[in-house]
Structure 1
């Protein structure tokens, strides 16, 4: 089907035509005698779009479960047209999906959906994050003597949401029975991968703020966390440490 004169993958016209049925078949596309280029390229285009829809569904299974397969596929087609892949690594494709959903009128009645998508994106980011040894009990002595400082594990991410996103995510990924959500209060969630598996856990008040502030100003992280109503600093540090949200010191004291 493809002749030696096919444009290079860097040619934006070829990539655009793969995603937009309204564009003409790119120059350099050949086919056997008696076949129509348009028909054969349409098959290729459909396969490309179907593959991208599949990749998006694999990244956002809870969103797909909430809205249903037909609705998700139709939404994904619109998203792909507006945000095509920017590179060959499919793990990073779809990063804009949560923001797309937040501005997508057909899901306005599901205001929690963008945060469910954000949680799923953080789970994938955690899975692909750099490895680091999580903080262990033997490291705490060095911290107490001031020989090292708390630092975030590279696979640890926090999400603050006004919706019960962790509950919804668990229900719609088979991690919890599907049923009515009795408590619609917001949830702060930690996504982390201290070993090989990604985990998501509820955080106490102030913990997400503490973890995020740790990156910018460790000295102010405690103050920022304690400004959150109901925050308990020892509980925050213990919860985050037990979940593997802190990385061990890079050098042994």
Structure 2
């Protein structure tokens, strides 16, 4: 390992000594200066995670979250200079973090918050005019050769827990204690202009949206959605996507 690698490794491991060969310009003890710098780096990364996952933090408390985030920082150093990208896999870390097992929905809440971050920073792609999409769909004789392209911010999340209700309760003064977290929910996340929105959707709508992401024709996407849920409502799901400006293109192939 080169000098730079040793420096980076020691920077994220509090139990490691100051790397050899460091010196201070003003003659101060290199070890103490390095300790201050290491503490600043740790604090910055932990604060970045706290800013990115506010509801996750609220669910377990500041002390628990920062202790957990400190261990994450040691295990997963940044791979990008863009700070808001840090913590992409925090939810997976939480999933395997034994002390968090008493809050089993914590990992899915973190996944929802990460999808919101991704939606906010998704490419600024122009969307199709909602009325034009509705008019075009109404005139189509068949759905077999029609494809809808969704905005890059659109994502879904299926959970065994009430992730949408839990997340929404922390955006207001609603009492979280009255919620039933064991009721599974699915979420739709998208960016409408500059506002990231979260909706509770059924499993059929999740399958339908994921099929559109895979560039399946509408007819096949509807068939898959009905397989996932016999109560799937095409008009309701399409209306949600159209009204919240989530469709960028409607393609009809001969």
Q: What TM-score, normalized by structure 2, do the two folds share?
A: 0.87
Shift of 1:199: 1.0
- 2:246 aligns to what SS in structure 1? coil
**Residue equivalent to 2:176:** 179
Q: 1:82 aligns with which of 59, 65, 75?
A: 75
CA distance in 1, matches of 2:6, 2:19: 7
Given that 1:122 and 1:191 are in contact with CA atoms closer than 8 Å, whether structure 2 keeps it comes out as yes
Shift of 1:139: 2.7
Given that 1:126 and 1:192 are in contact with CA atoms closer than 8 Å, whether structure 2 keeps it comes out as yes
CA distance in 2, matches of 1:115, 1:181: 19
More strand by share: 2
- 1:193 aligns to what SS in structure 2? strand
CA distance in 2, matches of 1:17, 1:127: 34
**Residue equivalent to 1:35:** 28
Shift of 1:244: 2.6
Given that 1:63 and 1:117 are in contact with CA atoms closer than 8 Å, whether structure 2 keeps it comes out as yes
The C-alpha deviation readout for 1:27-80, integer Å capped at 9, x for no partner, is 453225663211111011001000000000011110100000010110001111
CA distance in 1, matches of 2:106, 2:209: 24
- Residues 1-253 of structure 1: pairs in structure 2 closer than 5 A: 11-32=4-25, 35-135=28-128, 136-145=130-139, 149-172=147-170, 174-183=171-180, 184-219=182-217, 220-229=220-229, 230-249=231-250
Can you give the 5+ residue segments of structure 2 that lack an aligned partner in the other structure?
A: none
Change (3 A) 1:232 1:18: same
CA distance in 2, matches of 1:161, 1:149: 27
Where do 4+ consecutive residues of structure 1 move more than 6 Å? none
CA distance in 1, matches of 2:137, 2:21: 64
CA distance in 1, matches of 2:207, 2:47: 34
Report how many residues are paired: 241
More off after superposition, 231-240 vs 96-105: 231-240
CA distance in 1, matches of 2:245, 2:8: 42
Can you give the 5+ residue segments of structure 1 that lack an aligned partner in the other structure?
A: 1-6
Shift of 1:223: 1.1
Aligned-residue Cα RMSD (Å) equals 2.2
Change (3 A) 1:71 1:182: closer
Shift of 1:132: 2.1
CA distance in 1, matches of 2:183, 2:87: 28
**Residue equivalent to 1:4:** none
CA distance in 2, matches of 1:176, 1:126: 25
